[in-house]
Chains A and B, each alone.
Chain A
């Protein structure tokens, strides 16, 4: 290859990298960017042909409405949807309560199980691990009706507790799996030293293995929280009133009631709803990325 053709190949490569990079940005961000733009536009301005691709000026009325102020620009629509939308901040609060509770239960039960699967020799533990694992991948809609009937029988409909329980069951398999893989990646010899020093299994876990596994624990906990935060089908089916609506459930109600009115307001709801998980992923990006990959190992 001549120097010239190598230079050409280099230019070609750089151009390709640049073009695909732009493509990645457009592919990934355009729906989010459009969501944000629409949330900063007075509602009537959304219904124009052709639309504004860029807002003329920053308009924060939609957000002010969600904070409790009245708003005249909103166009018609059923009052029910407004009430749902206005409940957004409280719903995010509910989501945080439910998500954190589910995560804590996952930790309390899951850390020991994951450790056991990774370290403690026990007959049938492989089969048990599959048992814990498989339910996560089943289509959730398959158990919607049975769960509804069970929760109804327990008289827990329209309570946050019901949603916490269901979400914990959804988050647990992945939580256990990620930690299991992390625990396994830690050399046995570190624990052996502790064992010789007279540590029990529990002490080995608490004093040696768990502190080293902090990145794994953070990742597993974030995944548990996000599983809960994202779940909409059970959260909206099991809640009848705004008391127990999570953010995803409120978005579901909004999406179902959404027509061609007050869309700007709904986009503002959407922006608020995506902030907590986005913040989590940005802050813990390293743990999240490593944890995600871990989850596909064994």
Chain B
């Protein structure tokens, strides 16, 4: 990316080649966002069409003082932190194993992409069936195969389990990408470092702690920030599995946006939450943009 201005013909090429894309995204991404910003200051209820008076911060005041809001903030925090921590740990363990050379490891590396590759809605559908409180296979396993419970549980309807039940599919979907990123990270660490440490008598754990983790720092940062952004934006599983319930136990900010807009038919309030959520996301997006390493960090060993 070159910031200096070039020859006139370059400038002409630059403008004609970027303008269509920028214009397209302005109309279909930025303008809607600004529109949401405008909507958030208006009274815009579907029950009273045609009239959208400017009410300044009233929507924000209503949203913030609503009891859904406290739940949404808490749940988004729990969901996002939970997703980030577990995605990080699971993908770290998986990637450490997939980094070894053994029979079938190439196939495992492709296999692990599957949760990433299939549509979110397709997995939401099957997760809903797995969690079913009457005939779900999770209940069947936990009662008949590994008898942890003596009766079927309502995973999605019980406030004790509902959050974990939407968290797991998110972890499942996000692990593949992070495994891939970690694998790339390992490939950039010079093997000589490990050999030197071995000669010095460092055991496997010490080598992991003193070499792998520090060398992996750029990737770890990216994974953490990226997963935070994905956690805040996550919507499909709340939408299909719990609908924010039971009793707001899984109401996240993204669900609250949707609920206010469509269930309460109040576009103004929905927009106010949308703006709030976007600002939080934007902070992490800027951070993410800064963290992306500018140098090449190796190729994935496929």
CB within 8 Å for A125 and B1 given contacts A134-B282, A143-B33, A149-B35: yes
Inter-chain CA distance A172–B25, complex, in Å, is 8
CB within 8 Å for A125 and B281 given contacts A142-B36, A166-B28: no
Interface residues of B in 90-139 (CB under 8 A from A): 90, 93-94, 97-98, 100, 102, 104, 108-115, 117-130, 132, 134-135, 137
Give A80-109 as 1s and 0s: 1 = Cβ < 8 Å from B's Cβ atoms.
000000000000000000000000000001
Do residues B122 and A273 form an inter-chain contact, with CB atoms below 8 A? Answer: yes
Inter-chain CA distance A270–B286, complex, in Å, is 36
Indicate whether B39 reaches chain A with its CB closer than 8 angstroms.
yes
Do residues A296 and B2 form an inter-chain contact, with CB atoms below 8 A? Answer: no
Chain B contact residues: over half helix, strand or loop, or mixed? helix
Inter-chain CA distance A254–B122, complex, in Å, is 10
Do residues B1 and A118 form an inter-chain contact, with CB atoms below 8 A? Answer: yes
Do residues B289 and A134 form an inter-chain contact, with CB atoms below 8 A? Answer: yes
Do residues A51 and B137 form an inter-chain contact, with CB atoms below 8 A? Answer: yes
Nearest chain A CB to B136's CB is how many angstroms away? 9
Give A265-297 as 1s and 0s: 1 = Cβ < 8 Å from B's Cβ atoms.
011011001100110111001101110110011
Nearest chain B CB to A84's CB is how many angstroms away? 12
Inter-chain CA distance A25–B253, complex, in Å, is 33
Indicate whether A147 reaches chain B with its CB closer than 8 angstroms.
yes
Do residues A133 and B289 form an inter-chain contact, with CB atoms below 8 A? Answer: yes
Total interface residues on A, CB under 8 Å, equals: 105
Do residues B126 and A31 form an inter-chain contact, with CB atoms below 8 A? Answer: yes
Indicate whether B22 reaches chain A with its CB closer than 8 angstroms.
yes
- Enumerate chain A residues within 8 angstroms of B222, measured Cβ to Cβ: 296
Indicate whether B300 reaches chain A with its CB closer than 8 angstroms.
yes
Q: Which of B18, B21, B239 has the most CB of A within 10 A?
A: B21
Inter-chain CA distance A230–B235, complex, in Å, is 13
Indicate whether A220 reaches chain B with its CB closer than 8 angstroms.
no
Nearest chain B CB to A275's CB is how many angstroms away? 9
Which of B64-72, B154-162, B267-275 contacts its partner? B267-275
Q: Which of B6, B114, B125, B286 contacts A121 (CB 8 A)?
A: B6
Give B24-57 as 1s and 0s: 1 = Cβ < 8 Å from A's Cβ atoms.
1100111111011001000000000000000000
Indicate whether B189 reaches chain A with its CB closer than 8 angstroms.
no
Q: Which residue of A lies closest to B218 (CB)?
A: A296
Indicate whether A243 reaches chain B with its CB closer than 8 angstroms.
no
Nearest chain A CB to B248's CB is how many angstroms away? 17
Q: Which residue of B lies closest to A108 (CB)?
A: B20
- Enumerate chain B residues within 8 angstroms of A65, measured Cβ to Cβ: none
- Enumerate chain B residues within 8 angstroms of A110, measured Cβ to Cβ: 21
Inter-chain CA distance A20–B94, complex, in Å, is 7
CB within 8 Å for A292 and B177 given contacts A20-B94, A38-B129: yes
- Enumerate chain B residues within 8 angstroms of A169, measured Cβ to Cβ: 24-25, 28-29
Pairs A-B, 5 closest by C-beta atoms: A121-B6, A169-B28, A112-B17, A146-B32, A122-B14
Q: Which B residues contact A (CB, under 8 angstroms)?
A: 1-6, 9-11, 13-18, 20-22, 24-25, 28-33, 35-36, 39, 90, 93-94, 97-98, 100, 102, 104, 108-115, 117-130, 132, 134-135, 137, 140, 143-144, 152, 172, 175-177, 180-181, 184, 219, 222, 226, 229, 232-233, 235-236, 239-240, 253-254, 257-258, 261, 267, 270-271, 274-275, 277-278, 281-282, 285-286, 288-289, 292-294, 296-297, 299-300, 302
If A31-B130, A122-B11, A126-B3 are given as contacts, then 18 extra A-B residue pairs at C-beta distance below 8 Å, sorted by A number, are A27-B175, A34-B130, A53-B140, A110-B21, A112-B18, A116-B13, A121-B4, A126-B1, A138-B285, A143-B29, A149-B267, A169-B29, A173-B25, A252-B240, A254-B125, A273-B119, A292-B180, A297-B297
What would 25 A/B residue contacts be, using CB atoms closer than 8 Å? A32-B118, A35-B126, A35-B129, A50-B143, A53-B140, A113-B21, A116-B17, A121-B10, A124-B3, A137-B281, A139-B277, A140-B233, A143-B29, A169-B28, A248-B119, A248-B122, A252-B121, A255-B124, A270-B126, A277-B119, A282-B110, A289-B113, A292-B180, A293-B300, A298-B293
